[in-house]
Structure 1
């Protein structure tokens, strides 16, 4: 498996060299960053370049660096029932251990079981992305009791009068309805 080294200039990549390797050493980072890419789906996502608030504590432990973060971002999209715009603030907690290269954890776990430091660089972006996407509702709604759209005309029920309805003609009688309408047109002439 080939992995690309993290870009030290990326907004969610942190240099842990200042922590050293003494267990218990901590570093606090609080910042607002622009989302490096859209997180989610086209219909509902944290949009690229939207603000992500990050409150991060990095702690050196014997096996690596423990990242503990509170993340907040705004997700936007469409209501699954009426297609109205939806905007929600997502708040997630991210906690990941990033193992030192050559540590016991490195030898006792598979490559995909634990995050790894790349030298002294810690790439928090995959953990933040995963946490935000998992916090998104499966069916985003403008409100829990959204009635959706009228199945016949496609207009949101909220925009229609209370007595809105459509006359449904049984297709077996449609031929007679055409005769009735033709007869009505003949009388009015």
Structure 2
């Protein structure tokens, strides 16, 4: 019994390939993005279209999946908090072991189970591979532009909009009360 739903958007059926090494199939998909596809400040919005091109190739151990994916990104600049709209294009390659071979390979070390992808009743789940590829391709600290000036530390003004932004010299707090006095004439 498989835990994968064959109707799920990123679950693919490989029965058509059979177990004949060398047989292959090319697939193009446009599917809605799953939730949480990104990092805190930059992500593919849930439900946004992800274009995926794949080549599924039967090999001795299982099915080799080679592909690319393209999706739109939304987020904010970590320096000035401006909105970011961009695209991400990633490539990936992953081997999915046949059910019976996956059991033999993982029998030696239970900790390696997380690292092995296996087919479940000739179905493969592309979501974890797609998630890893996209998340690893994202910048850790996204910027609206490379030379982003950020925000003014005193008033929060966006320095990209006003690069000449300045404040008067700060008054020593010990003398601040004197600034309110009017000079005698």
Whether contact under 8 Å (1:79, 1:140) holds in the other structure is yes
Q: Please state how far the C-alpha of 1:74 moved relative to its aligned partner.
A: 1.5
1:1-189 map, 5 Å: 5-103=3-101, 105-109=102-106, 110-160=112-162, 162=164, 164-174=166-176, 178-184=177-183
Q: Deviations over 1:136-171 (max 9, x none)?
A: 100000000000011111010122262532431122
TM-score, normalising length from structure 1? 0.88
Deviations 1:101-138 (A, max 9, x none): 112x5412431221010111110100001110011100
Q: TM-score, normalised by structure 2?
A: 0.89
Structure 2 residue runs without a partner (length 5+): 107-111
Residues 41 and 142 of structure 2 are in contact (CA less than 8 Å); yes or no, is this contact kept in structure 1?
A: no
> Which runs of no fewer than 5 residues in structure 1 stay unpaired?
none
Question: For 2:5 and 2:168, how far apart are their aligned partners in 1?
Answer: 59
Residues paired across the two proteins, number: 179
Whether the 8 Å contact between 1:101 and 1:118 is mirrored in structure 2 is yes
- Structure 1 residue runs of 4+, over 4 Å off? none
Report the RMSD for the aligned CA atoms in angstroms. 1.8
User: Rg bigger for which structure?
Assistant: 1
* Contact 1:14 1:123 (C-alpha < 8 Å) held by counterparts: yes
